[in-house]
Amino acid sequence: MRLTASRPWCHTAGTALLVFLVACSDSSQTGAGDGVGAGAANFDGALADTLAAETVAPLDVTATAPADVTVAAAADVTADVAADATPAHDAGDDASADAVADASADAVGSGPPYPIILAHGFFGFNDFAGAGFLTYFYQVKQILENTGEFLIFTPTVDPFASSDVRSAELLKQVQAILVQTGKAKAVLVGHSQGGLDVRIIAHDHPEIVAAVMMVATPNQGSPVADAVLVLTPGPISKGIVNAMGSLLGGMINPDGSTDNSSIVAALSQFSSKVIPGFNAAYPDAPGIPYWSIAGRSLLAGDGGDCSVTNPPAFVSKWHKNLDPCNAALIALTLAMVGQTNDGLVPVTSAKHGTFLGCIPADHLDEIGQILGQPPGLGNPFDHLVFWTGLVQWLRAQGF
């Protein structure tokens, strides 16, 4: 178990999520979003092959209609960020639909510093249940604003959908951000599934992407997904599972779209059968740098798969530290015995492009969840220090 103070909310939520994932098993409802290239068709075909042939329509669950893309200018914040500080919303009220439509491949904008867009992963959100303070990248945006970084954005996409759907939603928001900021490109930073989302955008729209950074992204899939999908229920459960995804997605992320939610379509994407098709459909775009970082937990050291020659300081500063995995993720690590991992993604899967090394953090610690609690006894890793260092490093690279 994790050697830290009792985290009943975390453990309860994690256990509930685990039970939910085990219960969630298959669905054949996946939509292709706007702005996704021809590679998506091949990827969708591979994804469809992994789902049961019989399709049951999802239950009629009313979800909150997605709001228009909203990207607001960052407001000044105080030097100290309170634990319950209300994050600035990524709004684009002044970016009209016509303006977004005009953000074409030939759009001209200014150079760096570029907007840095943090893309959340599976089960992601920007403002959990509209609470006003619980963000996916917990307090990261506020801390960065305190350092003068006012070009940080945290858009929201469907928390339970495959990346072809999510990337189309994200693309519209990236375009709106570029219109508002007057910048020609953006730096896309994805955590977990968010890394796959941004890879699609970089492949299909390289003209608006300056660089791609992936943190704990299952670029080669995850054994956890394979293990969960083995428990696939019968076709009657498909509609129920997808309806639950739409309902739950609407609850945790009231401003986000859940029209194309498909929990198992998302999980299937991370399976060993489907992920090769994804990688074939979305190879890296020439001229764009791709970087990746992995998490290591279960007291794994910084050698082996994590070994990197001259890693950046914001990664190497933690190389002597070990992380005891969150109890909510322990059961999932059984699918990755013998592999260094963060509780959900093996290090070997997280590697893509130029690998920058590992941080001593499980999949939740990497983003400061839950509620910014420390990662575990004896582990000084601080996600706010990590993300601040990551952004400073990107700026130092000329972005």
Please provide the DSSP assignment of 242-257 as one string: HHHHHHHHHHH-TTS-
Residue 369 lies in a domain: yes
Q: Rounded distance, CA 85 to CA 336, Å? A: 37
Residue 36 lies in a domain: yes
List the structure tokens of 18: 């685990």
Q: Give the chain's length.
A: 399
> Which of 41-55, 141-155, 182-196 has the lowest average pLDDT?
41-55
Which domain range does residue 344 map to? 8-56+70-79+88-396
pLDDT for position 171: 98
Question: Confidence band (pLDDT; 50, 70, 90) for 112?
Answer: very high
List the structure tokens of 376: 């575990």
- φ/ψ (deg, to 5) at 290: -120, 125
Residue 251 has pLDDT above 60, yes or no: no
| CATH code of the domain containing 126 | 3.40.50.1820
Q: Rounded distance, CA 326 to CA 246, Å? A: 27
CB count in 10 Å sphere of residue 139: 22
CB-CB contact of 28 with 52 (8 Å): yes
Residue 78 has pLDDT above 50, yes or no: no
Question: Which of the given ranges, 48-52, 267-271, 301-305, 322-326, has the highest pLDDT on average?
Answer: 301-305
pLDDT for position 58: 34
- Mean per-residue pLDDT, 181-199: 97
Residue 250 has pLDDT above 60, yes or no: no
Residue 176 lies in a domain: yes
Residue 3 lies in a domain: no
| pTM of the entire predicted model | 0.72
Question: Confidence band (pLDDT; 50, 70, 90) for 31?
Answer: very low
Q: Rounded distance, CA 253 to CA 110, Å? A: 33
pLDDT for position 43: 60
Residue 259 lies in a domain: yes
Count of domains observed in the chain = 1
β-pair type (354-359, 209-215)? unpaired
Residue 1 lies in a domain: no
pLDDT for position 159: 84
Q: Calculate the CA dihedral of residues 219, 396, 204, 252 and round it to 10 degrees.
A: 60
Q: What is the average pLDDT score of the chain? A: 74
Q: Rounded distance, CA 340 to CA 345, Å? A: 9
- HEC readout, 295-341: ECCCCCCCCHHHCCCCCCHHHHCCCCCCCCCCHHHHHHHHHHCCCCE
- What percentage of residues in the chain have a pLDDT greater than 70? 62
> Which of 59-68, 94-103, 251-260, 349-358 has the lowest average pLDDT?
59-68
Residue 154 has pLDDT above 50, yes or no: yes
Number of helices (H) and strands (E) in the chain: give both, helices first: 14, 6
Residue 61 lies in a domain: no
Residue 207 has pLDDT above 80, yes or no: yes
pLDDT for position 40: 56
Please spell the DSSP secondary structure of 45-96, one letter per residue.
Answer: HHHHHHS-SS--PPP----PPPPPP--PPPPP--SS--TTPPPPP---TTS-
pLDDT for position 394: 98
Question: Confidence band (pLDDT; 50, 70, 90) for 34?
Answer: very low
Q: 233 vs 335, which has greater pLDDT?
A: 335
